[in-house]
Chains A and B, each alone.
Chain A
């Protein structure tokens, strides 16, 4: 079965640079969620989109922005990167009807040096 695809899997950036993380949800899933997992921590919700509209917002820094496109893929844009942004970034998707389960992608490991 198709899974959530995230790219790139690994990313190394320097402080003050920008990064773009991409997420391709499972086909026919219209809701996308972004989570950030710091070292030794639990995943923290950042933002979600439903039918290309922002549906919820968590502890996402103002330096970050995200959007969902017409093909339902989503991108997380991160600017003025800081050392503390080094983390594993997960994307998860879920369908509109029937299920309340979120299926996670493999994550993008971002390292800021």
Chain B
């Protein structure tokens, strides 16, 4: 079974600064997907960014980028130019990449990192 670990329960960053959230995972699979989800106080789960394991290039979405190290099984999220609206719980998640629709599509989440933005 796959496991996802987020070792930073809480992080804080000054507005406009850059912060990096850590995530490691354990799997015996070679092909999979990794995601970062944001959960603001409204509790809505919002997809921030995704990474396909077979792609070496790190994903980027505006101010959000990842550092994907497949050999080290590490998947960190970098938020640049932090804004007050970035304050939220951030979850790292893993999904198998099997082609069957049966048994391998669920998301496995880490325990989350609560990010606070300091004005």
Contact = CB atoms under 8 A, between A and B. Distances in A.
- Please indicate whether A and B come from the same complex rather than being unrelated chains: yes
Given A42-B110, A42-B111, A42-B112, A94 B45 contact: no
A33 to B, nearest CB: 7
B89 to A, nearest CB: 9
Given A42-B112, A43-B91, A100 B97 contact: yes
Contact of A56 (B35, B50, B103, B110): B103
Contacts of B33: 100
Please classify the interface of chain A as helix (H, G, I), strand (E, B), loop, or mixed, using the class held by over half of its residues. strand
Interface in B47-104: 47, 50, 91, 95, 97, 101-104
Please classify the interface of chain B as helix (H, G, I), strand (E, B), loop, or mixed, using the class held by over half of its residues. loop
Interface residues of A, number: 28
Nearest to A54: B102
Interface of A: 31, 33, 35, 37, 41-45, 48, 50-51, 55-56, 58, 88, 90, 92, 94, 96, 100-104, 106-107, 109
Interface of B: 33, 35, 37, 42-47, 50, 91, 95, 97, 101-112
